A and B are shown apart, each in its own frame.
Chain A
Amino acid sequence: MAPSSRGVHAAGATLGQEHVQPLRKQLQNADDDIVVLDLSRIESATASYLKATVIWLIQSAKLAAVDGRESRAPRGAHDPVPLRIYPLVTGLSADVREELDAVLPGFRLPCLEALQYSKDRISRASLHGPLDDAGSDTLKVLSQCGSATAASLCDQFADRKISATGWNNRLADLYALRLARRRKEGRQWVYELVATEVVNG
């Protein structure tokens, strides 16, 4: 639930680490859950605070997506840990949004801001941070289709001359960035975006 007024000027990694500590415990047994981090009480934030909260959450989610292939033991107590979640943020003030937009490129991470959501789904989100051309294109395509497999996209967009493997890699990249979810149907992965509609932030 979003509190009614802002007022916190959040600065420093230590404060951020303290704020995510309870979340970390709460999420360690998550099972591909969508998590919306509500920052509506934060009036302004520094890059260090956002690195310790939003970036930490996205990096933790990303770690879980690599299926242990690239995962390594955390070096420090506040390093990212694998969390099976799809993180979004919401309630951003103009100041926080501006700072987040400045921080994300350094980490080459995109981040979704939930604009309209209910308990069950994210109906509209805006995308912040960098996403390469292939990623943006796939995001658009997946947004049009609702859900898709690599094979179905290969058939549906045959004029693009992208192989099924090519589509598979693109979809897997969106999954790794936690912008798309996937489920297994038979031998294929079926992908769908975390939000029904994604606009540029």
Chain B
Amino acid sequence: MPSLLLQTTDIDSFRSRSAQLDGVSFQSITPSGITLAALLELACSWWMWTQNAANAPSQVVASWGMHLTDIRHANALLVDGAEVQKRCAPFDAPRKELWCIRSRDDWCGDPATLFQARFRRSLEQRGFGKKLSIALSKAMQEMADNVVQHSGRDDAHPARGLVGYHIEERWMTYAVADVGRGILASLRTNPRWGSLLSSEGALRASICQHASRRIDAPYGAGFSQVQKSLADLNGKLRFRSGDACLTLAGYRDARRVILSSSPHLLGFQLAVTCSLDGEDQPRPL
């Protein structure tokens, strides 16, 4: 049976063919591992399929979950808010961790503050230095806060979301994903961006032009914070929403913008990866 490291491109591919799974060999795949970004996008896909009673892809994901506990954990966390894995102690510095957002309190209460501190501590302990660790954790906090602020019809009713990080020595990635209204619907609530017609346009407006759904705000600050946090590091940033994906790769001023299509998925998903040594190979959780 083929075995592979599941990445976001595989999840895209799986989603695009999920409607005709009979003719596809996804059932026979035994995943050897999964990246954090792929894990969160798979969890969002799984949530969408369970909502639509799409049994065939759900069964494939369930079978993958037999091999990889991370898949089971993420799905259970997003769908039921269930903690499958042992929760970290307040002052740990774990290599990887997932967090679920289902309400405002889930992101601004004390447990969430401790999760954010663990992320910062993990970065510091794995070679990122205090200043950079703070910058990266603030950026992650901003991105996760967007789930509360923008994914639902208002900030009192956010959509479900997941936040996760995976840190190795001098390498890190964090990801945020939700199953909410997506960036296009969110931005279009601001008349200034009401003429946007595509998720691709909405991604470009948000990330490259700092568009905000807030009518009184001159600009959105969150995505600038992410770019600022990476400073001169070699980073890869993936943002996807609706049927579009925007990737930024490389070093600060020379970071390339690549827009592509991505099979439809609810909400907004992002992943930020960087290495202090410039290496950009995907790593399994």
- Residues of A that sit less than 8 Å from B by CB: 9, 11-15, 17-18, 44, 46-48, 51, 59, 75-80, 103, 106-107
Contact = CB atoms under 8 A, between A and B. Distances in A.
Interface in B102-161: 104, 107-108, 116, 120, 134, 137-138, 141-142, 144-145, 148-149, 154-156
B217 to A, nearest CB: 7
Main secondary structure of the interface of B (DSSP, over half): helix
A96 B222 CA distance: 16
Given A76-B154, A78-B155, A12 B221 contact: no
B154 A44 contact: no
A11 B141 contact: yes
A11 B145 contact: yes
A11 B218 contact: no
Contacts of A78: 155
B138 A14 contact: no
B88 interface: no
B66 interface: no
Contacts of B141: 9, 11-12, 46
B225 A18 contact: no
Interface residues of B, number: 26
A14 B137 contact: no
A44 B141 CA distance: 13
A15 B142 CA distance: 10
A51 B137 contact: no
B139 to A, nearest CB: 8
16 contacts: A11-B137, A12-B142, A12-B145, A12-B148, A14-B107, A44-B134, A44-B138, A46-B141, A46-B142, A46-B221, A46-B225, A47-B225, A48-B222, A77-B156, A79-B216, A103-B221
A11 B217 contact: no
Interface in B22-51: none
A107 B134 contact: no
Tell which of A51, A59, A77 has the most Cβ of chain B within 10 Å.
A51
B221 A48 contact: yes
A13 B225 contact: no
A9 B107 contact: no
B221 A77 contact: no
A47 B218 contact: no
Tell which of B107, B138, B142, B218 has the most Cβ of chain A within 10 Å.
B138
B149 A11 contact: no
A98 B104 CA distance: 28
